[in-house]
Amino acid sequence: MRTSKGFKNPRAQHGFQGRTCSIVGVGAYVPEKILTNAELERMVDTSDEWIVSRTGIKERRLAAENETTSDMASLAAMRAMQNANITPDQIDLIIVATLTPDMMFPSTACLVQHKIGARRSAAFDIEAACSGFIYALEIGQQFIMTRTYNTVLVIGAEKLSTIVDWTDRNTCVLFGDGAGAAILQHRPDAHGLLTACMGAEGDKAELLCMPGGGSKFPTTAETVANRLHYLRMDGKETYKNAVTAMVTAGQEALRRCEIDISQIKCIIPHQANRRIIDAVADRLGAKPEQVFINLEKYGNTSAASVAIALEEAVRTERIKQGDLVLLVVFGAGLTWAAAVIEW
């Protein structure tokens, strides 16, 4: 079904009568502590020039020792609720996307439910690494469209500082902590989330992983000594696959909506590496002014990355009602996703 605004709503095809689903409020939280490149120079053999030239990152936020993923998720959630004028009792479902949960179980979403007082909501986590927020948006949307629930809270939150090897100069410069949240509801006369393309390439799982702590390598003195509980990454191969995956996902999302990249007001890519962002934007044919980047302040916050950037873009009025927005991400797995939204 082609709309009066010149794009197709893929979800309106084949006579489907489901409700539309819109993001009606966003919120974000980043910790107070800032770790600059200059400080990293004193920790590992690196330099500000090396980090900026290869990644675009100037600083990142680190959670306090007693600050958990669920703490950050809850603060982002409460800000999203405030912006959407939503009370805790209105929330039907909480989905938290994270690869750094407070604990293996129960889910971080259950801990968030308690902290924000959403007593009547269902709650669960998903883990799709950096792609998690878009995966969670698509999952949450299904509950709105099918009228199962009226209000869904989606959160991307990470405390990556707990799994970063601070002796590895190739990875420790990249990551930071934070959380972003979105409230999903049906908004009459709005198309909202138009489409989401998701995929995975499990044969590339070892490019970015944390080997220890699961059933394959349960925690032992040996796994700790071998540093298996820290993030590991093949940077060169991750870069190549990330660009290809994000471009493919972005092009497919645009194709489904039958729109050109020029119709997108704001592109929010995964904030992982400036070189990746520039390469993806170039291959999609985007102009620099279309691309929103806050990587230099926060580094890669995994599942929180796109969510934090989306909140800032909305708050600074880079996105206004009626604008078309493209979110595009990749993550460990290798996972990838893209979404087109009418704001």
Domain spans, the chain:
10-190, 194-342
Compute and round to an integer the Cα radius of gyration of the chain: 19
pLDDT at 2 over 70: no
Superfamily (CATH H level) for 194-342: Thiolase/Chalcone synthase (3.40.47.10)
Q: What are 158-212's pLDDT values in tens digits?
A: 999 999 999 999 999 999 999 999 999 999 989 999 999 999 999 999 999 999 9
pLDDT band at 9 (very low <50, low <70, confident <90, very high): confident
Catalytic machinery residues: 130, 270, 300
Q: Determine the Cα–Cα distance for residues 101 and 35; give it in Å rounded to an integer.
A: 22
Q: Is 60 within 8 Å of 299 (Cβ atoms)?
A: yes
Amino acid identity of 225? A
Q: State residue 12's pLDDT score.
A: 64
Task: Transcribe 259-289 into DSSP letters.
Answer: --GGG-SEEEE--S-HHHHHHHHHHHT--GG
Confidence band, pLDDT 50/70/90 cuts, at residue 13: low
Which pLDDT does position 228 carry in this prediction? 97
Residues in the chain: 343
Q: Which position has the higher pLDDT, 144 or 189?
A: 144
The arithmetic mean of pLDDT across residues 282-304, rounded, is 98
User: Which helix (H) or strand (E) covers residue 255, if one does?
Assistant: helix 235-257
Pairing state of beta strands 122-126 and 152-159? Answer: unpaired
Q: Which residues pair with 266 in a beta bridge?
A: 325
- Is pLDDT above 90 for 251? yes
Span 69-120, pLDDT tens digits: 999 999 999 999 999 999 999 999 999 999 999 999 999 999 999 999 999 9
Provide the pLDDT confidence category of residue 123 given band limits of 50, 70 and 90: very high
Q: Does domain 10-190 have CATH number 3.90.190.20?
A: no
Return the pLDDT at 95: 99
